[in-house]
Structure 1
Amino acid sequence: MRNKLKVAYNLELGEAIRLYKLNEFTGSFHHLERAHILGQRYIIPHTKSHWWMLKVGIRKHNIKEVFGQVTRMIASVLFSKIWVPLGNTGGANVNPMKPMPIPEDLKKILSESE
């Protein structure tokens, strides 16, 4: 992972964790989705974003999210280097195979990191 991408990913993940610790799960999940978009081509960052989404799902008692994140964590280990649906936000509320539009600010970071 190139430095600018790594910095952006770590900023998103850091903000998600900060909000998680404040029990602000909606905001936390938003930043986890952004971290997911940035890190989904790399096994460890991809899996880490799903791990934290799982933790949010547990804290919110959201069975759909918990189950969805367990399956996505497994898929992230197996498929991150092979194929990922670009822009997919990673939550259980979206089809895990569906590419999605990438926010412009993240698109710029991703394009500079290729």
Structure 2
Amino acid sequence: MQERQRRAFDAAMEAARCAYARQDWSRAFAQLERAHILGQRRVGAHTLTHWWMLKVGWQRRDGREMRGQGLRLLAALLMSRLWVPTGNTGGANVNPLQPMPIPDALRDVMEER
């Protein structure tokens, strides 16, 4: 992961942790989706975002999210270096194999320079 992308990933994760501490589950999850897009090609970063999504699912008592994140955690560990669907936000509300458009706010950060 290039430096700009790493900084953006770290900032999104920090924002997610802060929102989680405030019990602002919607904001935490939105930041985790951002972090997921930024970090999904790196095993550690990808796995970390799914772990935190699982934690948010637990706090929300959202069984679908918890089940989905359990499967995605395993897939992140096994598949991140081989193939990931670019732009996928990582939540259980989206198909885990579906590529998605990269949001404009992240596109510039993710471009190699």
Normalising by structure 1, we get a TM-score of 0.97
Residue 85 of structure 1: aligned partner: 85
Residue 6 of structure 2: aligned partner: 6
Q: AA paired with 1:51? A: W
Q: Alpha-carbon deviation of 1:47? A: 0.3
Q: AA paired with 2:93? A: N
Q: Alpha-carbon deviation of 1:112? A: 2.9
Runs of 4+ more than 4 Å apart: none
Residues of 1 paired with 2:112 and 2:104: CA distance?
12
Residues of 2 paired with 1:112 and 1:104: CA distance?
15
Aligned pair 1:66/2:74, yes or no?
no
Q: Alpha-carbon deviation of 1:3? A: 1.2
Residues of 2 paired with 1:42 and 1:21: CA distance?
25
Residue 40 of structure 1: aligned partner: 40
Q: AA paired with 1:57? A: G
Aligned pair 1:110/2:110, yes or no?
yes
Residues of 1 paired with 2:21 and 2:112: CA distance?
32
Aligned pair 1:17/2:17, yes or no?
yes
Percent of residue pairs identical: 46
Q: Where does structure 1 lack aligned partners over 5 or more consecutive residues?
A: none
Secondary structure, counterpart of 2:111 in structure 1: helix
Secondary structure, counterpart of 1:112 in structure 2: coil
Secondary structure, counterpart of 1:106 in structure 2: helix
Count of aligned pairs between the two proteins: 113
The one-character-per-residue Cα deviations of 1:20-60 (angstroms, maximum 9, x if unpaired) are: 00000001000000000000000000000000000000000
Normalising by structure 2, we get a TM-score of 0.98
